């Protein structure tokens, strides 16, 4: 979805639909004993989700987002950037992930016939510091605590378009395989998504060279194009890993695995 083609009012309606169908239920589940003390919210949660959507799509600063949103929705309907930042910090991460899943499911329903393959990969994001996460080694990386790990599953279409289907975040030094397993189980639990993706290539690097992970991918009805760890002294003995290697070498689709790096 190109940012320049976004219909802002459709994004707002999408956020309202999500909050009415799922968002409010998620908040009630997370905070069943929330009191009504204090000032009531002046701006509903769907406004905050809409602003977040526009900020990410257009890669805007907080001040730039406020200026654009005021031009579209009017000053009386939009919080200032400091209020927006405060409200954004109050939203639980589960709600944001669920909102992403809600959007991606609608995209999958629209484009599932054009789907070519999926790619999974993980990365680290640093926070609370000015500079981005550096490549560190040995003792230096063990002393680094201020970052989070996230595994992303992206969907790639035949015409080159792509979107993020879901994410699985974790703490510092979380296992990519375990975060990836959480994603594959999520796919198995959703019938429509399972049917839409069935039989599609599932690309992953050597980090996902795990028998348990490959079995979960197969149970999800996907073809595991996963790079196997292999050396001259240590070959592949497991039958399921051998079949995975044969599948990967059967065609050249694995060369597209690097497309997910540009998403990061």
Residue 211 in any domain: the answer is yes
Residue 42 buriedness (CB in 10 A; 0-12 / 13-18 / 19+):
exposed
Residue 216 in any domain: the answer is yes
192: CATH: 3.30.420
Residue 141 in any domain: the answer is yes
Q: What is the dihedral of CA 127, 25, 43, 3, to 10 degrees?
A: 60
Residue 232 or residue 219, greater confidence: 219
Question: For residue 118, what are the contacts with CB-CB under 8 A and spacing of at least 6?
Answer: 153, 154, 155, 156, 165, 197, 200, 201, 202, 203, 222
Task: Write out the two tokens for 127.
Answer: 């926070």
Whole-angstrom distance, CA of residue 66 vs CA of residue 84: 9
Q: How many domains does the chain have?
A: 2
Residue 139 in any domain: the answer is yes
Whole-angstrom distance, CA of residue 209 vs CA of residue 175: 12
Whole-angstrom distance, CA of residue 17 vs CA of residue 104: 14
pLDDT digits (tens, 9 = 90+) for 92-151: 989 999 999 999 999 999 999 999 999 999 987 765 554 444 555 556 655 665 566 899
Task: Write out the two tokens for 107.
Answer: 């995209």
How many C-beta atoms lie closer than 10 Å to residue 5's C-beta? 7
Rg (CA), the chain: 21
Q: Are 53 and 142 part of one and the same domain?
A: no
Q: Are 86 and 117 part of one and the same domain?
A: no
Q: Are 229 and 126 part of one and the same domain?
A: yes
Q: Are 208 and 119 part of one and the same domain?
A: yes
Q: Are 149 and 187 part of one and the same domain?
A: yes
Domain extent for 16: 3-91
Task: Check if the beta carbon of residue 213 is closer than 8 Å to that of residue 177.
Answer: yes
**Neighbouring-strand partners of residue 167:** 152
pLDDT digits (tens, 9 = 90+) for 147-179: 668 999 999 999 999 999 999 998 877 889 999
Q: Are 253 and 137 part of one and the same domain?
A: yes
Whole-angstrom distance, CA of residue 128 vs CA of residue 146: 7
Can you give the three-state secondary structure of 174-211, one letter per residue?
Answer: CCHHHHHHHHHHHHHCCHHHHHHHCCCEEEECHHHCCH
Can you give the three-state secondary structure of 107-149, one letter per residue?
Answer: HHHHHHHHEEEEEEEEEEEECCCCCCCCCCCHHHHHCCCCEEE
Residue 103 buriedness (CB in 10 A; 0-12 / 13-18 / 19+):
buried
pLDDT on residue 142: 58
Q: How confident is the model at residue 224 (pLDDT cuts 50, 70, 90)?
A: very high
**pTM surpassing 0.85?**
no
Residue 97 in any domain: the answer is no
């Amino acid at each position: 979805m190109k940012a320049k083609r976004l219909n802002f009012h459709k994004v707002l309606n999408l956020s309202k639909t999500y909050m009415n169908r799922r968002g409010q239920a998620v908040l009630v589940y997370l905070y069943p004993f929330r009191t009504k003390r204090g000032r009531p919210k002046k701006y509903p949660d769907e406004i905050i989700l809409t602003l977040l959507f526009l900020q990410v799509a257009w890669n805007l600063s907080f001040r730039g987002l406020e200026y654009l949103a005021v031009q579209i929705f009017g000053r009386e309907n939009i919080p200032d950037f400091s209020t927006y930042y405060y409200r954004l910090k109050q939203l639980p991460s589960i709600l944001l992930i669920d909102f992403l899943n809600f959007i991606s499911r609608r995209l999958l329903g629209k484009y599932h016939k054009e789907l070519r393959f999926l790619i999974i990969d993980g990365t680290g994001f640093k926070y609370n510091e000015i500079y981005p996460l550096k490549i560190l080694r040995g003792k230096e990386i063990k002393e680094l605590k201020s970052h989070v790990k996230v595994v992303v599953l992206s969907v790639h279409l035949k015409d080159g378009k792509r979107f993020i289907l879901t994410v699985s975040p974790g703490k510092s030094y979380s296992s990519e395989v375990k975060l990836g397993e959480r994603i594959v189980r999520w796919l198995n639990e959703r019938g429509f998504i399972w049917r839409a993706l069935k039989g599609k290539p599932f690309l992953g690097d050597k980090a996902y060279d795990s028998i348990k992970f490959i079995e979960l991918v197969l149970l999800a009805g996907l073809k595991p194009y996963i790079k196997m760890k292999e050396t001259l002294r240590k070959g592949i003995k497991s039958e399921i890993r051998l079949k995975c290697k044969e599948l990967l070498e059967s065609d050249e689709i694995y060369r597209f695995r690097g497309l997910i790096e540009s998403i990061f």
